């Protein structure tokens, strides 16, 4: 009370001297009622007691704090993880030539929830030449999927470059529903496939968006009895409905790939077109291995809807495989065009349809919701057929859905999609596609 | 068995449900933040420190031993404040219950705690009352927060700059003083250095502690690398190539010199950044939750004014200043104001920055639901000034209350109208001449830059004042003189309004005279001669006639024959 009175008296005293030019906002302003001088380091009072949460608020919040404690732990764990990774990976580093020599880091290969592979990844900058980079990564997942990938890029992003790529993918539970567009979903079966590929490419063009690639390679596909999935293929299908049921095939192949694009923003395009064509001719190494031609054509178009943040994106894919020996020649079921990876039908499981040709048309409406992230609504038609003439609009499988798209770089996106088809819902999180 | 289980389950669920239903009642029935008594006596805290509500000096620099170094993890905090906290608040059930309580008349929102009887923040290790109580002379502001003092050349680089987005390095100048040099982003000389100088000058004049930074220009030849650093003898290596790579990211003036700002190391021992969510361990002077500090909540208005969009914990720094016998105290600084106006460390700020949080859930929801047709204000705002040293900054579409930091600042989230009014009052206290002087401190080479910043700061200042003075009646600086209560109507003072009339409701605060009396004033002066006869305390509620702004509450106490102002509350 005494302090208040003293202060009040001081206010009165102070006011008399300040009255002459006391106009707030004036550069010569002096407040009439303050005595804000004094040393905070001297002994003296505090303005308020120690601060504590109000008791009634503690009582109100306590049960929720207990119930949500596990979530809080998760949040704290994530925070600690980001706190650890941030300085190492997110902080901007001065641009300098990458250190030459090998570096070892953990690698992750995404798949289904039980198929997330982990393993070592080696990156060797400057091997074997100064402008080359060698990458080697291996991973193993809980379903015993084994992946090894080796790639060597020489003169990357130069007008003329060279690429060597080899990978081994051993997956014990691939899906097979039979060949054709109308296979019932109840025919789901599983097979093992050990896939070994090696290819070499001559790259003409510095940008992956405008590049011609002459490619040649070797492919070995070896099917087997599935595990981590029931029932196995051989219990559902006869050998005639799954040609080359347990027979491996080896092929040598060569071909050409061309990319051509005119986009306003390669990472998050809102206007422009992009096209890609791949042509391959494969020759069996043994007499039992078939010879065939394989192709894939893809076109995309992007159209802004009155503003760049709203985009209609269209994508069409036509892919197929055609035996050299004519239509009657049998091809291994595992080398047929199939709805998986970048050709997966949105509302259907991966590997749902197999046949010689596949058509996919998708239209998306995308709209920006966060920095580099868009929401999307999609409508898709997909179909497989033995030949072009067999495609019909009525036979197309429809998917409708929505999701999120995050542009990671000019060549990679992360997408989450939830789509519905006549067979139910499918949710997919993918990393690496560029649509 | 099943019945028994159901009975047990229902028994277990009853208390939480009961609590849920009782919560609004709890909040309504709970006492407010502050004592309702008109004139609370001086209290003593449990640890024998005197508590005086009327003080203008919060003695929080009492000698303590040096607290341990500690600071929140930069990326962890960014993740927490950017994502975890916004999500947490969306699903904060007690908050929703308190919101219900508010509709029932409760005031569950907590007011700032370090506020004195006059609704002001006393001087402390965080804040010193400056411009709004005693105008900083224009000539002083023209020099920046303190006198001009540049790092003497040549400079020796002692360390690379380890954290943050801007390119730079640590130096020792020719006089042996340590500085951190941050380069302006390439193509934009004076972008960050100018923004930092102007914003820091204004923040300091407002009352905050800021470091000594100086805009500098230097040539490549002014800098050498320390021999140990060059050879990597002490573990850290920084070669000529590294320096070239750092300089390549920097802005260059036409004469070939680099544009940067040098920050003098603050005296004392750096303890690290404070956390807005916890007190500093080991600092017994730090006893108000940082989110409940008036100067941190009200800082919103100032940041909104200068568009300082990066106010994460790491933009603050605690320094331990030793006095004697290993004892000292902690001072709290705003470390970096370079991300102000239209600037970012890498160039002009992105257009959405300062209009949205990096994860802005309300805007994200609006965009999702509108299929992208909701148009954000930043898309309409013409921010691109075309002035390299200013970047993207505007005041036309700007709405003070909609200003957003990159990640949400917990203290800003707790801001009430009273805190906002306090901040706005400080912003409004700057005259046009002071603003021009603060901008002059940056020495912009481009004449367009100076005029643009001054003009926009003035427009923004007035918008801020208009917004908060419209929510809380800007009646302030009460004093008793010549037997009359005099006060300032700040809206009139700063020219936002012409002369106004006021309504005063007068009650006896000591219960000696029942009922209340209403008085209409045509000027900011209330004669006290015939008021409160036989009464020792009066409680006044003063509002602007015909204005919906929340009124000011003033308490007068009679001492002998004089009335004195003993308590003020706004809103």
- What does the pLDDT look like over B15-30, one tens digit per residue? 444 544 554 454 444 4
Task: Decide: B165 and A68 in contact? Cβ < 8 Å.
Answer: no
Residue-level pLDDT at B130 = 93
Residue-level pLDDT at A23 = 57
Distance of alpha carbon B396 from alpha carbon B386, whole angstroms: 16
Q: How confident is the model at residue A8 (pLDDT cuts 50, 70, 90)?
A: very low
More confident residue, B329 or A96: B329
**H or E element that contains A426:** strand A424-431
pLDDT, one tens digit per residue, over B292-324 is 999 999 999 999 999 999 999 999 999 999 988
Residue A424 scores a pLDDT above 50: yes
Structure tokens of B104?
């029932």
Residue B31 scores a pLDDT above 70: no
Identify all chain A residues contacting B482, using CB atoms and an 8 Å cutoff. Answer: none
- For chain A, positions 281-340, list CB contacts with chain B under 8 A: 305, 307, 309-310
Residue-level pLDDT at B427 = 96
- For chain A, positions 126-155, list CB contacts with chain B under 8 A: none
**H or E element that contains B252:** strand B251-252
Residue-level pLDDT at B1 = 46
Residue-level pLDDT at A94 = 60
Task: Decide: B472 and B549 in contact? Cβ < 8 Å.
Answer: yes
Percent of chain B's residues with pLDDT above 70:
91
Flag whether residue A54 sits within 8 Å of chain B, measured between CB atoms. yes
Across the interface, of B245, B358, B429, the residue whose CB is closest to A29 is B429
Distance of alpha carbon B143 from alpha carbon B35, whole angstroms: 44
Task: Decide: A170 and A146 in contact? Cβ < 8 Å.
Answer: yes
Residue A415 scores a pLDDT above 80: yes
Going by C-alpha positions, the residue among B262, B328, B304 that lies closest to residue B424 is B304
Its ipTM equals 0.84
* Cβ <8 Å between A50 and B132: no
- For chain B, positions 186-225, list CB contacts with chain A under 8 A: none
pLDDT, one tens digit per residue, over A42-82 is 788 999 999 888 888 899 999 999 999 999 999 999 999 99
Structure tokens of B412?
């800003």
Flag whether residue A415 sits within 8 Å of chain B, measured between CB atoms. no
Residue B537 scores a pLDDT above 50: yes
Q: Which residues contact B526 (CB under 8 A, 6 or more apart)?
A: B484, B485, B486, B504, B519, B540, B542
* Cβ <8 Å between B42 and A368: no
Q: How confident is the model at residue A30 (pLDDT cuts 50, 70, 90)?
A: confident
- For chain B, positions 398-457, list CB contacts with chain A under 8 A: 428-431, 433-434
Percent of chain A's residues with pLDDT above 70:
91
Across the interface, of A27, A39, A86, the residue whose CB is closest to B431 is A27
pTM of the model: 0.83
CA closest to A306 among chain B residues: B373
Residue B418 scores a pLDDT above 50: yes
Going by C-alpha positions, the residue among A399, A388, A398 that lies closest to residue A428 is A399
Q: How confident is the model at residue A186 (pLDDT cuts 50, 70, 90)?
A: very high
Residue B259 scores a pLDDT above 60: yes
* Cβ <8 Å between B564 and A30: no
Burial (CB < 10 A; 0-12, 13-18, 19+), residue B447, is exposed
pLDDT, one tens digit per residue, over B33-72 is 444 343 444 444 445 788 999 899 999 999 999 999 998 8
Residue A431 scores a pLDDT above 80: yes
Residue-level pLDDT at B535 = 84
Residue-level pLDDT at B516 = 82
Q: How confident is the model at residue B90 (pLDDT cuts 50, 70, 90)?
A: confident
Tell me what the mean pLDDT of segment A231-258 comes to: 95
Task: Decide: A332 and A316 in contact? Cβ < 8 Å.
Answer: no
Across the interface, of B242, B292, B350, the residue whose CB is closest to A94 is B242
Tell me what the mean pLDDT of segment A145-157 comes to: 91
* Cβ <8 Å between A8 and B163: no
Residue A21 scores a pLDDT above 50: no
DSSP string over A123-166: EEETSSSTTEEEEEEEEE-TT--EEEEEEEEESTTSSEEEEEEE
A160 torsion bin: left (phi>0), alpha (psi -120 to 50), beta (else): beta
Across the interface, of A8, A25, A64, the residue whose CB is closest to B566 is A8
Q: How confident is the model at residue A90 (pLDDT cuts 50, 70, 90)?
A: confident
Residue A41 scores a pLDDT above 80: no
Residue A12 scores a pLDDT above 60: no
pLDDT, one tens digit per residue, over A104-117 is 999 888 887 788 89
Q: How many Cβ atoms from other residues are within 10 Å of residue A87's Cβ?
A: 13
Residue B349 scores a pLDDT above 80: yes
pLDDT, one tens digit per residue, over A343-354 is 999 999 999 999
Can you name the residues that pair with B570 across neighbouring β-strands? B552
Helix A55-67 × helix A69-85 angle, to 10°: 80
- Helices (H), ranges, B254-409: 294-297, 299-306, 361-369, 377-380
Distance of alpha carbon B499 from alpha carbon B519, whole angstroms: 17
Q: How confident is the model at residue A25 (pLDDT cuts 50, 70, 90)?
A: low
Beta strands A373-385 and A357-370 are antiparallel
Going by C-alpha positions, the residue among A68, A67, A128, A136 that lies closest to residue A101 is A128
Residue B264 scores a pLDDT above 60: yes
* Cβ <8 Å between A54 and B288: no
CA closest to B87 among chain A residues: A75
pLDDT, one tens digit per residue, over A384-402 is 999 999 999 999 999 999 9
pLDDT, one tens digit per residue, over B458-516 is 999 999 999 999 999 999 999 998 889 999 999 999 999 998 999 999 988 777 667 78
Tell me, letter by letter, the H, E, C secondary structure of B261-304.
EEEECCCCEEEECCECCECCCCCCCCCCCHHHCHHHHCHHHHHH
Percent of chain B's residues with pLDDT above 90:
70
Going by C-alpha positions, the residue among B95, B193, B35 that lies closest to residue B413 is B95
């Amino acid at each position: 009370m005494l302090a208040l009175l003293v202060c009040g008296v001081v206010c009165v005293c102070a006011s008399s001297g300040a009255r002459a030019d006391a106009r707030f906002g004036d550069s010569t302003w002096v407040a009439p009622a303050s005595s804000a001088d004094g040393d905070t380091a001297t002994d003296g009072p505090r303005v308020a007691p120690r601060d504590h949460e109000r008791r009634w608020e503690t009582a109100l919040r306590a049960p929720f704090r207990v119930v949500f404690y596990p979530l809080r732990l998760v949040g704290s764990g994530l925070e600690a993880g980001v706190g650890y990774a941030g300085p190492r990976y997110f902080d901007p580093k001065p641009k300098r030539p990458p250190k030459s020599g090998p570096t070892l880091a953990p690698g992750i290969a995404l798949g289904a929830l039980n198929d997330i592979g982990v393993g070592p990844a080696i990156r060797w900058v400057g091997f074997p030449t100064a402008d080359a980079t060698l990458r080697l990564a291996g991973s193993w997942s809980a379903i015993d999927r084994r992946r090894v990938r080796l790639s060597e890029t020489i003169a990357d992003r130069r007008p003329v470059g060279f690429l060597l790529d080899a990978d081994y993918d051993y997956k014990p539970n691939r899906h097979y529903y039979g060949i054709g567009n109308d296979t019932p979903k109840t025919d789901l079966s599983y097979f093992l496939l050990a896939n070994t590929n090696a290819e070499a490419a001559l790259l003409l063009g510095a940008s992956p968006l405008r590049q011609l690639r002459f490619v040649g390679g070797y492919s070995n596909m070896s099917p087997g009895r599935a595990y981590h999935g029931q029932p196995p293929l051989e219990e559902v299908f006869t050998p005639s409905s799954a040609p080359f049921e347990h027979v491996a095939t080896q092929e040598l192949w060569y071909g050409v790939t061309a990319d051509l694009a005119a986009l306003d923003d390669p990472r998050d395009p809102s206007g422009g077109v992009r096209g890609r064509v791949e042509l391959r001719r494969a020759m069996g190494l043994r007499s039992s291995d078939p010879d065939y031609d394989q192709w894939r054509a893809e076109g995309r178009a992007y159209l802004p809807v009155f503003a760049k943040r709203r985009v209609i994106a269209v994508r069409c894919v036509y892919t197929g495989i055609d035996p050299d020996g004519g239509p009657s020649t049998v091809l291994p079921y595992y080398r047929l065009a199939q709805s998986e990876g970048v050709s997966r039908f949105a509302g259907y499981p991966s590997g749902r349809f197999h046949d010689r040709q596949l058509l996919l048309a998708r239209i998306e409406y995308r709209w920006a919701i966060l920095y580099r992230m868009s929401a999307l609504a999609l409508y898709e038609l997909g179909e497989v057929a033995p030949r072009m003439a067999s495609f019909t609009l009525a036979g197309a499988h429809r998917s409708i859905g929505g999701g999120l798209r995050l542009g990671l770089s000019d060549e990679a996106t992360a997408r989450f999609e939830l789509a519905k088809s006549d067979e139910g819902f499918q949710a997919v999180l993918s990393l690496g596609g560029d649509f | 068995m099943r019945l028994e289980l159901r009975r047990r389950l229902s028994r277990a669920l009853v208390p939480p449900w009961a609590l849920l239903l009782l919560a609004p009642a709890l909040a309504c029935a709970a006492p407010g933040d502050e004592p309702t008594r008109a004139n609370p006596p001086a209290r003593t805290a449990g640890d024998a420190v005197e508590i005086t509500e009327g003080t203008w000096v919060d003695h929080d620099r009492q000698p303590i031993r040096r607290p341990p170094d500690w600071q929140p993890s930069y990326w962890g905090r960014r993740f927490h404040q950017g994502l975890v906290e916004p999500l947490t608040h969306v699903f904060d059930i007690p908050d929703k219950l308190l919101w219900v309580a508010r509709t029932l008349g409760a005031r569950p929102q907590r007011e700032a705690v370090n506020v004195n009887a006059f609704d002001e923040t006393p001087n402390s290790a965080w804040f010193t009352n400056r411009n709004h109580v005693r105008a900083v002379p224009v000539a002083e502001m023209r020099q920046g927060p303190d006198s001009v003092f540049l790092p003497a050349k040549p400079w020796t680089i002692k360390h690379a700059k380890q954290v943050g987005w801007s390119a730079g390095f640590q130096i020792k100048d020719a006089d042996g003083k340590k500085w951190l040099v941050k380069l302006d982003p390439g193509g934009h000389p004076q972008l960050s250095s100018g923004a930092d100088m102007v914003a820091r000058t204004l923040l300091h004049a407002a009352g905050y502690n800021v470091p000594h930074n100086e805009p500098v220009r230097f040539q490549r030849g002014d800098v050498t690398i320390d021999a140990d650093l060059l050879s990597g003898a002490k573990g850290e290596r920084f070669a000529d190539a590294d320096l070239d790579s750092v300089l390549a990211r920097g802005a260059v003036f036409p004469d070939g010199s680099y544009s940067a700002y040098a920050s003098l190391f603050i005296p004392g021992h750096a303890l690290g950044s404070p956390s807005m969510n916890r007190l500093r361990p080991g600092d017994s002077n730090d006893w108000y939750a940082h989110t409940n500090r008036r100067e941190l909540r009200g800082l919103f208005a100032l940041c909104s004014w200068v568009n300082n969009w990066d106010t994460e914990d790491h933009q603050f720094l605690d320094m331990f200043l030793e006095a004697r016998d290993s004892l000292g105290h902690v001072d709290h600084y705003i470390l970096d104001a370079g991300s102000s106006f239209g600037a970012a460390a890498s160039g002009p700020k992105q257009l959405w920055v300062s209009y949205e949080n990096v994860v802005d859930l309300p805007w994200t929801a609006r965009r999702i639901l509108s299929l992208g047709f909701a148009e954000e204000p930043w898309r309409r705002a013409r921010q691109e000034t075309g002035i390299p040293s200013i970047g993207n900054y505007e005041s036309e579409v700007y709405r003070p209350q909609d200003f957003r930091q990159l990640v949400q600042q917990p203290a800003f989230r707790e801001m009430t109208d009273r805190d906002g009014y306090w901040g706005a009052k400080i912003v409004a206290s700057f005259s046009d001449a002071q603003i021009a002087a603060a901008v002059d401190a940056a020495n912009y080479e481009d004449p367009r830059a100076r005029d643009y910043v001054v003009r926009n700061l003035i427009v923004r200042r007035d918008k801020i004042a208009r917004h908060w003075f419209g929510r809380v009646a800007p009646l302030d600086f009460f004093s008793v003189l010549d037997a009359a209560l005099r006060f300032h109507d700040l809206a009139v003072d700063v020219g936002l309004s012409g002369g106004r009339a006021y309504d005063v409701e007068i009650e006896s605060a000591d219960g000696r005279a029942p009922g209340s009396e209403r008085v209409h004033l045509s000027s900011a002066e209330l004669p006290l001669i015939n008021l409160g006869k036989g009464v020792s305390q009066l409680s006044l509620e003063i509002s602007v006639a015909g204005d919906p702004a929340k009124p000011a509450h003033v308490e007068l106490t009679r001492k002998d024959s004089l009335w004195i102002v003993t308590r003020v509350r706004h809103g």
